[in-house]
Amino acid sequence: MPDPDEAGCEVLRRFAELVAGRAETTATRAFFTPRAAAWEERFAYQTPAYEAAVARMRLRPGQRALDLGCGSGRALPALRELVGPSGTVIGVDLTHAMLTAAARAGRGGPARLLLADCGRLPLAAGAVHGIFAAGLLDHLPRPDGALREWARVTAPGGELLLFHPSGRAERAARHGRAVSPEDPLAEPNLRPALEAAGWHLAAYEDAATHFLARARR
């Protein structure tokens, strides 16, 4: 028979995760909602960098792509170009106001816009062929769990592209701090986390002008 003490601890652990997840959702929406209306105008200059990053993905016409934490949708038209009119592009964000900003910027045409938690995707296993995630992984409360979830919804042979239009050192300096060795995007941390989740790191670039990591299922 199961140990009742162990079972009780597991229930408490899951309850704590649920509470923490809800708190994180509330905090994320509280941060982005008042900023969403001006997001596109403020960061429009980054669009060419997003387009160049998406072009590194090996998506083909007719395939299905996700943009996780899509914000105002700067990557969505470029993803649509890769998969063509017969493919599917879905932009996922946790904040309704951000999806509204994406629709207002005309990104609802190239893609479906979905309000969802990027760590608990309402998609079947193997549903997509490629995931683009910009400035997302290192802001999630459970990066390892997110990588496993993203692997779950990605078909074998599919890929994940993690991106930011600034390198890790530049971003740290902007916030007045040094690069942390605990950063989940540091290669010694990211590579084993990807492997444990079912990904293989194929490319890693941490330059002054951008961060990019491409992994295969």
Domains, the chain, with CATH or none: 36-216 (3.40.50.150)
What pLDDT, on a 0 to 100 scale, did the predictor assign at position 17? 45
Are 210 and 163 spatial neighbours (Cβ–Cβ below 8 Å)?
yes
Amino acid type, 90: I
Handedness of CA 113, 115, 44, 174 (dihedral sign): negative
Closest-CA residue to 164 (of 112, 131, 210):
210
The chain-wide mean pLDDT, for the chain, equals 89
What pLDDT, on a 0 to 100 scale, did the predictor assign at position 15? 34
Sheet holding 128-134, edge to edge: 112-115, 88-93, 64-68, 128-134, 154-164, 211-216, 200-206
Strand pairing category for 211-216 and 154-164: antiparallel
Name the β-bridge partners of 63.
Answer: none
Give buried/exposed letters for 57-70 (b at 16+ CB in 10 A, else e): bebeeebbbbbbbb
How far apart, in whole angstroms, are the C-alpha atoms of residue 80 and residue 62?
10
Q: Please identify which residue in the block is written with the tokens 């998506």.
A: 59
Q: Which residues of the chain have pLDDT under 50?
A: 7-20
Q: What is the pLDDT of residues 118-145, one digit of tens each?
A: 999 999 999 999 999 999 999 898 999 9
